[in-house]
Amino acid sequence: MDQERLEHIRHSAAHMLAAAVLELYPRTKLGIGPTVENGFYYDFLFPQGTTVSEEDLASIETVMKKIISGHHDFVGRSVTAVEAESEEADQPFKLELIKEFAGEGKNLTIYESGPFKDLCRGGHVDNTSEIPADGLKLHRVAGAYWRGSEKNPMLTRIYGLLFATKEELDSYLEKLEEAKKRDHRKLGAELDLFTFSDLVGAGLALWTPKGTLLRNTLDDFVWQLRKERGYEKVTIPHITKKDLYETSGHWDKFKDDLFKITTREGHEFAMKPMNCPHHTQIFNHVSRSYRDLPQRYAETTMCYRDEQTGELHGLSRVRGFTQDDAHVFCRESQVKEEMFKIWDIIEAFYKAVGFNDLRVRLSLHDPAQFEKYLGTKEVWENTEKQLREMVAERGVEAFEALGEAAMYGPKIDFMAKDSIGREWQVATIQIDRNQPERFDLVCVNEQGEKERVVMVHAAIMGSIERFLSILIEHHAGAFPVWVSPVQVLLAPVSSKHVGGARALLNELTEAGIRTGIDEADETIGNKVRKAAGQKIPYIVVVGDKELGGEPWMIRVRGQKDQVKMTKEEFIEKVRNEIAGKI
RNA sequence: GCCGUUGUAGCUCAGAUGGUAGAGCAUUUCCAUGGUAAGGAAAAGGUCUCGGGUUCAAUUCCCGACAACGGCUCCA
């Protein structure tokens, strides 16, 4: 079925949803009912005191299907604004739309289908019998502001899924189930990686030893890639005087999102929401010669933003998060080379963690809202042109996104697709000519003159928290061997094998393999079950045979049959995988 | 922040028109020395999220806070 036809079907179904709601709740006021990616929604203002629960959806759905089965034709007719207003007299939201559309000189049409009529620009099927009722499911109810503005009243939005066939609906529902199983919030608890505490507060993740190992493993690799390219580590405090952000321009635009601290002497401080302003002060504490450039500062450190409670979500959106941040201070002539170095790091890193094809997004400013940004139009346009050239030179396909730029400059963002096809922004490279201006960052050039430097911002994982939410879901917790907190689990057959297993533990650990041991007095079957649930890559049962020098039967994650290998072969194999970032 | 739903043991969930609660898994101990996805038994574990109110009595009803979930808005 072609997309346009599916759109018509979904939009027609939205009318039927409204019809069903009016039948069950006659005094309901109607918002709008467009199509969305996998179906449609309709916004309603229910009569005072009515709430619609998830269970009520089933009865609405039943009524909806009954109306659909009435084989009603969709009949449209043009109306004047006055006619439209009289027909929709008891629908305040429709009246608002009529007024607006009439003001814009648009033609108004009303579509009738059986018992229901609606102001609508069209795009329907001819008859409701064309709506595939068995591909339909009302699945969610949510709040949504009228016309998307938080200044407007909150309406109740009912989402429906609608596919051409039942099979497609079922397969989509299966996909949702699969996503649920992979949910990082669930896996984070099951794999004992992180937790939240009501005492500590919402959006403040606490990392267990295993989770910390995971973070550090990834961060160490990023650092290795950076170190090879001339980066140096720096360290900054997590708070700053207000003055720093007044100079950077952040205080003005983002003061609501800062955690603020007032000292006993009445001075205002803030928790840092980013690191660049601090890093400028390290660059700027001595005069720099062009010979000292580029200065490349890297630091993995936490930032804090006072996100609204309703926006928090697992690790994806938190109040305290860790950036693997880096800033390069360089001359204009060095920008491209530095950008490409970062690009190389990003490619190497994402390949190693199992994301193969990153999409590249050019995140540009939104010309319609230029007041959101720092700096002049000219600087922005030049920088954006430069980014386009670099993308072209790099020979990659990039898509452009208006309004996705940072406050101080445009970005090249990298988008990763996870294993069930969802796309996420991960790494980012940003060119910044505004903060060097504001902090007066210069070097002395060959002519002995002051020369303005350029800042390049480069986060590889971005926020480690958000990155891990994506990584956990991408691999469903079954991380590549080099990333896994525990790479090999030893399971002694009985208590008399514990000593021998401990010796093996030392041997494997010496070989650089993260090894665990399950010494519990339990059956071997139970130990295997638990280790498999922990998604540990290799499980080795240790009994008389193994300790007696016979080949091992290794249980490999994801494989049904065990693999036979000598101890030496096994150690070699795992070491190679760790070294090869597999 | 807004709309809606929810909050009972570490986890997953039962439960009572208002009379302080129960299971499985996990934990601890004992028995079993067990060979690749749950061996057996016992014990321990709860201010029923927190704070107010109504009541002889509140985990249960009411109000408020906090937190989680689904969205909206936001995301430097």
DSSP assignment of A354-386: T----EEEEEE--GGGGGGSSS-HHHHHHHHHH
DSSP assignment of A192-242: T-EE--TTT-TT--EE-HHHHHHHHHHHHHHHHHHHTTT-EE----SEEEH
pLDDT at A178 over 90: no
- Cβ atoms of A17 and A158 within 8 Å: the answer is yes
Please name the CATH architecture into which domain A3-181 falls.
2-Layer Sandwich (3.30)
Kindly tell me the burial class for residue A41, based on how many C-beta atoms sit within 10 Å of its own C-beta (0-12, 13-18, 19 or more).
buried
Give me the catalytic one of A118, A324, A325, A432: A325
CA atoms within 13 A on the CB side of A431: 29
Strand nucleotide closest to residue A254 (CA to C1'): B76
How far is residue A494's CA from residue A560's CA, in Å, rounded to a whole number?
24
Considering only residues A13 and A50, tell me which one the structure prediction assigns the higher pLDDT.
A13
How far is residue A540's CA from residue A483's CA, in Å, rounded to a whole number?
19
Average pLDDT over residues A336-347: 96
- Cβ atoms of A514 and A504 within 8 Å: the answer is no
* Per-residue DSSP letter, A309: G
Give me chain A's average pLDDT, please: 93
Listed in sequence order, the residues at least 6 apart from A347 whose beta carbon sits closer than 8 Å to its beta carbon are A358
- Cβ atoms of A473 and A184 within 8 Å: the answer is yes
A276 is catalytic: yes
Give the CA A485 to C1' B61 distance in Å: 49
* Angle value at C-alpha A38, between A8 and A109, nearest 5 degrees: 30
Q: ω before A115 within 30° of 0 (cis)?
A: no
CATH of A189-475, one of 3.50.40.10, 3.30.1330.10, 3.40.50.11540, 3.30.930.10: 3.30.930.10
- Cβ atoms of A386 and A431 within 8 Å: the answer is yes
Strand nucleotide closest to residue A255 (CA to C1'): B76
pLDDT at A368 over 90: no
How far is residue A172's CA from residue A169's CA, in Å, rounded to a whole number?
5
Model ipTM over 0.85: yes
Tens-place pLDDT, residues A53-106: 777 888 899 999 999 999 999 999 899 999 999 999 889 999 999 999 888 888
Chain B positions with an atom below 7 A of a protein C-beta are 1-5, 11, 26-27, 30-39, 49, 66-76
pLDDT at A221: 97
Q: Where are the domain boundaries for CATH 3.30.930.10 in chain A?
A: 189-475
Strand B proximal to A327 Cβ, under 7 A: no
Q: Where are the domain boundaries for CATH 3.30.980.10 in chain A?
A: 3-181
* Per-residue DSSP letter, A314: T
pLDDT at A357: 82
The CATH superfamily assigned to A488-579 is Anticodon-binding domain (3.40.50.800)
* Angle value at C-alpha A37, between A367 and A69, nearest 5 degrees: 140
Strand B proximal to A374 Cβ, under 7 A: no
- Residue recorded with tokens 């995988």: A577
pLDDT at A56: 82
Tens-place pLDDT, residues A460-474: 999 999 999 999 999
pTM over cut 0.95: no
A323 is catalytic: yes
Q: Where are the domain boundaries for CATH 3.40.50.800 in chain A?
A: 488-579
